Amino acid sequence: TVWSKDFYNCSTARQTTDGGYIVCGGPYLRKLDAEGNTTWERTFEFGIGSVRQTTNGGYILTGGPDVWLAKTDELGRISGTELEEDVEAPSSWEIVSSVGSRITLRYVDYPQGFTASIFDAIGRKVDEVHSSQTQGTIIWGEGHQTGVYFVRSVSDKALSVHKVILSK
């Protein structure tokens, strides 16, 4: 079977012992089956530069800009650090404008306030936005370089990440 998939910011793709593939780039680690379908995906709070499968079926990850090394189980889990995408929860925030010189984020029903982290395309945390209000709108982007960014809510337990493009 011949197939093609488009993964933004992929830095490493390797075949796994089960005939599938492991793909990483930025904060993302993704497992694909032999046909290129996503089996699972993990998002970490650090950028992944390289991945290799270990003899017990887990994965060894490296990244930067500060050099680090992490080992996962066969499902890409590192106790206490990964955000489980498998758990779905209704999102109560959205990106109203995802492309432009400023990004507009709207949130509702956050009694403790809302916080989101912003990562660049290689997974480095570049900013954090916070509001103590239960609901509102946050404008982000002033003073940052143009490019692709990922906005992740820190206030939610479930993974909720949005891709945005900052332009002039």
Name the band, by pLDDT with cuts 50, 70 and 90, for residue 20: very high
Per-residue model confidence as pLDDT tens digits over 73-128: 888 887 644 444 443 344 478 888 888 899 999 888 888 889 999 988 888 889 99
Per-residue model confidence as pLDDT tens digits over 57-66: 889 888 765 5
- pTM (2 d.p.): 0.48
Residue 109 vs residues 1, 105, 162: alpha-carbon distances, Å: 47, 14, 19
What integer pLDDT is reported at residue 74 of this predicted model?
87
> What would the 3-class secondary structure string for 3-46 be?
CCCCCCCCCEEEECCCCCEEEEECCEEEEECCCCCEEEEEECCC
What integer pLDDT is reported at residue 123 of this predicted model?
80
Number of H helices, E strands in the chain: 0, 16
- Give, for 75, the enclosing helix (H) or strand (E): none
- Two structure tokens written together for 137: 């709108």
How many C-beta atoms surround the C-beta of residue 126 within 10 A?
13
Name the band, by pLDDT with cuts 50, 70 and 90, for residue 38: confident
Amino acid residing at 24? C
